[in-house]
Amino acid sequence: MTVATLTAGEVDVSTGLTAAQVSRRVVDGQTNDVPGRASRSVKEIVRANVFTRINAILGVLLIIVLATGSVIDGMFGLLIIANSAIGIIQEVRAKQTLDKLAIVSQAKPQVRRDGVAVSVAPNEVVLDEIIELGAGDQIVVDGAVVEGEVLEVDESLLTGEADPVHKRPGEQVLSGSFVVSGSGAYQATKVGKDAYAAKLAAEASKFTLVHSELRSGVDRILKFITYLMIPAGLLIIYNQLFVSEQDLSAALNGMVAALVPMVPEGLVLMTSLAFAVGVVRLGRRQCLVQELPAIEGLARVDVVCADKTGTLTENGMRLSELRSLDGNEASARDALAAMAGSDPRPNASMLAIAESCDGDPGWTSTATAPFTSAKKWSGISYGDNGNWVLGAPDVLLDPETETAREAEELGSKGLRVLMLGSSDMSVDDSAAPGRVTPAALVVLEQRVRPDARETLEYFADQHVAVKVISGDNAVSVGAVADSLGLPGGDRPIDARELPKDREALADTLDTATTFGRVRPDQKREMVGALQSRGHTVAMTGDGVNDVLALKDADIGVSMGSGSPATRAVAQIVLLDNKFATLPYVVGEGRRVIGNIERVSNLFLTKTVYSVLLALLVGLSGCSPSSSTSSRCRTRSCRGTSRSQPGSRSASRRSSCRWRPTTSGRAADSSRG
């Protein structure tokens, strides 16, 4: 095998940076030290739960009561703590779970320093670093390949394209991608905030609170009540000071006593508790809710935009069919089993073959030619058992043959087709496999999640439209969607042909359901186009390429195996990576909505009664107390005492005067 190399300027590729060079770059700030965003910050969580309208109203009233020195009458302030604590505790727990996931999934690259390969944390990588790559390694910064031995990179998290990309020396690799096969090294050219993945994460890092119709409705009620509280409070305090002749402390307490019942704090507390209970119930199904109102939001969604890979399909493929071309299927299976067992770094196709053809025939290989996306075939020589090649039919066959046409027809249905054949010469790493005699067509298909069809049927029954949006080939995406019974799956659209105009794009989205070759920026545009038509949109995804669309969607849903940036911006994280969990979230959200709507009338009736009573008391000139008759009696008693000085009524003046408290009780006060 040959190893291609590329010089890297002043850096010796074989030895990497020296300690002095690393130190100089650290001093200059040329490191990969970018603030990680595995989840929302504690500051954001506290801000969202503390600075609410209900807390502001109760907080002002509490300050007034405490200013009078009546601490016991300020017990209603505990509602501020309760309302805030419920949301903060649940959301901080979600944050801790995501932070643990980020630590577990954090990649530690191997870099060359002073001629030695050492493992470092991602934030310790510096500019111009030589970073080694092997199968399964994550690329942590942007760079240029300087060494490559059949190096293939999976960029699906960035582009949505599932097929690996062959990387040669001099070509660029982006942070967030993975090495599928081969080995090599690359030099860091962009680190920190300049790296591709960091830029996407930064663009989506602005905090926004998920919209909740329930909380918005309560907030509108509170806003209206606030407008009523101002004149009601002024009337009551005027009555206390100038009609009842109370001192300022008692007048303020009386005003608060009348205003607190106007606030539907019970409804707000019950809403928070209902959301919290729903979050706990969903947690038992491995569904992590980062913001409490998200379960309500998903229940109101009418369009779900789902990625194909990881949502409708599982990672990997399966052998759908083995079509013998020479009548000797047993020999073909032995050859496939031998090739699968001889591959030290099997790709998705070879793993599927190994799973179906697991009987090792005991053949010994004498020469190998690994698969690359450039030559599109692999081969192994087994001495007396022959030379075997496996690869793309259009490369190994004459396109005019019947077998080539048969393979093309299968490929048009979204299937992956490989041809197994025997060669008349020993294989090597050259571009020519020799003369190949077809032995079998190996038909592979993506693994469809067993619960995907049931999930799609559920959304259809609930009148929720599902749009499959993927970076994969449109035909492949359509084949999967059609096999699951998604309406319009047999008519996939290549996103490269989508209109630029938002209105025209929205028209297309209204009629079509399946889209392939979708770029990350197009996903965002598609979400915006749907929202412009009044749709409530949920977006599911797991890659960095989904971050911006998840951020703009009304509800973002990430898979637990997704990138840290994706999990951070999503309101809901499916820890078990099961798309089928979403119906349970919808059901739980609708249960919460139903419970809150059923009891809201009770709280709102109490609020309306309190508002009318407060206004009546203020306008009538009575003092607020436990009963209207008691307040009105105060005026008559006071009038009697003035008309007959020194009479028995005058001696009872103080007993006829009521001092209100925030608990609604009246207390006698005596002047001695």
Residues forming a β-bridge with 181? 152
Per-residue model confidence as pLDDT tens digits over 147-199: 886 788 877 666 666 667 878 888 999 887 888 777 889 999 999 888 887 77
At which of 417, 432, 448 does a domain end? Answer: 448
The domain of 520 spans 286-313+450-591
Residue 239 lies in a domain: no
Contacting residues for 444 by C-beta, under 8 A, at least 6 apart: 317, 318, 319, 320, 349, 352, 353, 415, 416, 417, 418
509 and 525 part of one domain: yes
Per-residue model confidence as pLDDT tens digits over 117-156: 998 988 899 999 999 988 778 888 999 999 886 788 877 6
How many residues in the chain? 672
At which of 388, 414, 448 does a domain end? Answer: 448
pLDDT of residue 26: 92
Residues forming a β-bridge with 12? 16
pLDDT of residue 621: 60
Per-residue model confidence as pLDDT tens digits over 446-484: 888 888 999 999 999 999 999 999 887 888 889 889 989
CA dihedral 430, 435, 439, 444 (to 10 degrees): 40
Closest CA to 597 of 280, 265, 213: 213
536 and 583 part of one domain: yes
* Residue 18 pLDDT level (bands cut at 50, 70, 90): very high
pLDDT of residue 206: 55
User: pTM to 2 decimals?
Assistant: 0.68
- Catalytic: 99? no
Residue 72 lies in a domain: no
501 and 557 part of one domain: yes
Mean pLDDT of 621-627: 50
Higher-confidence residue of 444 and 246: namely 444
With contact defined as beta carbons under 8 Å apart, do 298 and 585 qualify? yes
Per-residue model confidence as pLDDT tens digits over 195-232: 887 776 666 555 566 777 888 888 888 888 888 888 88
Cα gap 422→387, rounded to integer Å: 6
Cα gap 588→289, rounded to integer Å: 12
326 and 407 part of one domain: yes
Per-residue model confidence as pLDDT tens digits over 37-55: 556 678 888 888 888 888 8
pLDDT of residue 622: 59
Per-residue model confidence as pLDDT tens digits over 242-286: 877 888 888 888 888 888 888 888 888 888 888 888 888 998 888
Q: Based on the structure, what is the number of domains in the chain?
A: 2
Helix (H, G, I), strand (E, B) or coil at 356: helix
* Residue 429 pLDDT level (bands cut at 50, 70, 90): low
432 and 374 part of one domain: yes
Q: What is the mean pLDDT of the chain?
A: 80
With contact defined as beta carbons under 8 Å apart, do 332 and 440 qualify? yes
461 and 564 part of one domain: yes
List the catalytic residue out of 154, 307, 343, 472. Answer: 307
Distances (CA, A) of 205 to 41, 201, 293, 431: 11, 6, 20, 47
Cα gap 537→210, rounded to integer Å: 12
pLDDT of residue 373: 65
pLDDT of residue 342: 80
* Residue 669 pLDDT level (bands cut at 50, 70, 90): very low
**Which run of H or E residues covers position 119?**
strand 116-119
423 and 530 part of one domain: no
pLDDT of residue 66: 87
Closest CA to 354 of 389, 392, 319: 319
Higher-confidence residue of 315 and 659: namely 315
471 and 420 part of one domain: no
Cα gap 504→534, rounded to integer Å: 15
Closest CA to 295 of 135, 87, 4: 87
Amino acid making up residue 595 = N
Amino acid making up residue 523 = K
Residue 428 lies in a domain: yes
pLDDT of residue 460: 93
pLDDT of residue 436: 87
Higher-confidence residue of 641 and 452: namely 452
At which of 448, 473, 505 does a domain end? Answer: 448
Cα gap 580→469, rounded to integer Å: 18
397 and 509 part of one domain: no
DSSP 371-438: --TTT-EEEEE-GGG-EEEEE-HHHHS-TTSHHHHHHHHHHTTT-EEEEEEEESS---SSS---SEEE
pLDDT of residue 204: 55
Residue 10 lies in a domain: no
pLDDT of residue 624: 52
Per-residue model confidence as pLDDT tens digits over 350-383: 888 888 887 778 888 888 887 776 677 888 888 8
Residues forming a β-bridge with 111? 118, 131
303-306 and 465-469 strand pairing: parallel
464 and 435 part of one domain: no
**Residue 661 pLDDT more than 50?**
no
Residue 476 lies in a domain: yes
474 and 572 part of one domain: yes
pLDDT of residue 201: 65
Helix (H, G, I), strand (E, B) or coil at 667: strand
DSSP 302-328: -EEEE-TBTTTEEEEEEEEEEEESSS-
Mean pLDDT of 643-664: 39
Amino acid making up residue 336 = L
**Residue 325 pLDDT more than 80?**
yes
In a 13 Å sphere around the CA of 272, the CA atoms on its Cβ side amount to 24
pLDDT of residue 4: 43
Contacting residues for 612 by C-beta, under 8 A, at least 6 apart: none
Contacting residues for 564 by C-beta, under 8 A, at least 6 apart: 36, 37, 38, 98, 101, 102, 105
What CATH number does the domain containing 375 carry? 3.40.1110.10
307 and 360 part of one domain: no
pLDDT of residue 663: 39
